[in-house]
């Protein structure tokens, strides 16, 4: 059966009746993890298709250990996308497939996996089947006519060419997503400033939600009418974003909206300043923007731009002899841009 939102680890060699005793004696050379919507073929069907292409049990397949991890996402209306990764002695390699039919997608996926395990055996198995599938047709008249050979059916590799047409295109699957960015922005602080941000999100098809934490490097704001007096201003925020990804492929474009809550602080600095303090105040805003990522692999470079509107604008100043002067207040509108790397689990 399928497990929506999870993976089932299969000791694929144990699914062959003839390989049960060998599976108990030796660990499987090939392991497979498969997750897909309920309407798709399940893990048992996928394993049977792979074994049919190889002509042997997966317990006996391959010359070295190979871990295969595959998952599919989609629906009958919009089609399906699959992502498969192979991890062996040479490292990890990924492939992407798409097809309107999940059944055909799994057929193509089985062929890709079988070829990764043992391409020579796949070809030999198919040649044997083609030879056995040749049919001799003897016409009724004349009785001694020479038998005519009917062309063998199409090879399995040729029948599965169509589902593999989009194998190089990527597609977002459901799972965790983390990212680290460098950022620049203005509005909440006095000048254009720099900072860093980290995100933790969950994506499923064209929708993503994420938490965004930002730290801005502190800035100085001079105090009018005071020589060598200034405020050291800092800001840290934690926010949430909801993103819609209308473009699915190697390039992923997302439109995002959300808000931030943060701690803004100010510390006075001046010659002869008495009783220096660092007051803290709440900063809040609403933000919206877009993001662009190049997702050919799990580690994807991405960037984005946001515009924000302040909901809470704390006021900071300096006091002397019971009199207070306003020094800084965040702008009503601000913007930020970022660039960094995202990793999809």
pLDDT at 26 over 50: no
Q: How confident is the model at residue 5 (pLDDT cuts 50, 70, 90)?
A: very low
Give the lowest-confidence range in 18-32, 41-55, 197-211.
18-32
Using DSSP bridges, classify how beta strands 299-312 and 135-137 pair: parallel, antiparallel or unpaired. Answer: unpaired
Q: What is the mean pLDDT of residues 258-275?
A: 80
- Which pLDDT score is estimated for 168? 39
pLDDT at 304 over 90: yes
Q: Rounded to an integer, what distance in angstroms lies between the CA atom of residue 230 and that of residue 119?
A: 71
Highest averaged pLDDT of the listed ranges 72-76, 218-222, 259-263: 259-263
- Which pLDDT score is estimated for 328? 87
pLDDT at 278 over 70: yes
- Which pLDDT score is estimated for 270? 67
pLDDT at 14 over 70: no
**How many percent of the chain have pLDDT more than 90?**
30
- Which pLDDT score is estimated for 21? 40
Q: pLDDT digit string (tens) for 116-130? A: 888 888 888 888 887
Q: Average per-residue pLDDT in the chain?
A: 78
Is there a cis peptide before residue 142, judged by omega within 30 degrees of 0? yes
Q: How confident is the model at residue 182 (pLDDT cuts 50, 70, 90)?
A: very high
Tell the residue number behind the tokens 């620049």, with chain if given: 184
Secondary structure class of 23 (helix, strand, coil)? helix
Q: pLDDT digit string (tens) for 31-69? A: 888 988 888 998 888 888 888 888 888 777 766 788 889
28 Cβ partners below 8 Å, 6+ apart?
11, 12, 13, 14, 58, 59
199 Cβ partners below 8 Å, 6+ apart?
177, 178, 179, 180, 181, 210, 211, 212, 213, 241, 342
SS3 letters across 100-154: CCHHHHHHHHHHHHHHHHCHHHHHHHHHHHHHHHCEEECCCCCCCCCCEEECCCC
pLDDT at 171 over 60: no
Q: At 137, phi and psi to the nearest 5? A: -110, 120
Q: Which domains does the chain have, with CATH numbers?
A: 8-141+157-166 (no CATH), 175-344 (2.40.160.20)
């Amino acid at each position: 059966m399928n497990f929506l939102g999870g993976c089932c680890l299969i000791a694929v060699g144990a699914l062959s009746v003839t390989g049960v005793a060998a599976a108990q004696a030796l660990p499987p050379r090939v392991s497979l993890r498969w997750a897909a919507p309920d309407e798709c073929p399940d893990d048992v069907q996928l394993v049977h298709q792979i074994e049919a292409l190889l002509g042997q049990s997966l317990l006996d397949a391959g010359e070295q250990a190979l871990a295969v991890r595959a998952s599919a996402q989609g629906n009958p209306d919009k089609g399906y996308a699959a992502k498969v990764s192979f991890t062996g002695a040479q490292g990890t390699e990924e492939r992407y497939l798409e097809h309107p039919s999940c059944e055909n997608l799994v057929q193509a996926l089985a062929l890709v996996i079988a070829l990764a395990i043992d391409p020579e055996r796949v070809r030999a198995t198919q040649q044997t089947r083609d030879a056995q599938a040749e049919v001799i047709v003897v016409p009724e008249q004349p009785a001694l006519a020479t038998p005519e050979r009917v062309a063998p059916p199409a090879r399995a590799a040729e029948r599965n060419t169509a589902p593999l047409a989009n194998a190089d295109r990527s597609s977002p699957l459901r799972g965790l997503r983390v990212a680290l960015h460098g950022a620049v922005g203005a509005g909440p602080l006095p000048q254009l400033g720099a900072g860093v941000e980290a995100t933790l999100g969950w994506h499923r098809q064209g929708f993503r939600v994420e938490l965004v934490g930002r730290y801005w490097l502190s800035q100085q704001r001079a105090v009018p009418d005071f020589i060598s007096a200034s405020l050291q201003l800092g800001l840290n925020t934690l926010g949430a974003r909801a993103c819609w990804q209308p473009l699915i492929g190697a390039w992923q474009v997302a439109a995002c909206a959300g808000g931030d809550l943060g701690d803004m602080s100010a510390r006075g600095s001046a010659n002869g300043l008495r009783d220096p303090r660092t007051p803290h105040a709440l900063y809040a805003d609403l933000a919206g923007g877009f993001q662009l990522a190049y997702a050919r692999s799990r580690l994807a470079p991405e960037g984005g731009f946001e515009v924000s509107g302040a909901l809470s604008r704390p006021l900071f100043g300096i006091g002397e002899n019971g009199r207070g002067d306003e020094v800084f207040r965040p702008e009503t509108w601000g913007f930020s841009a970022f660039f960094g790397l995202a990793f999809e689990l």
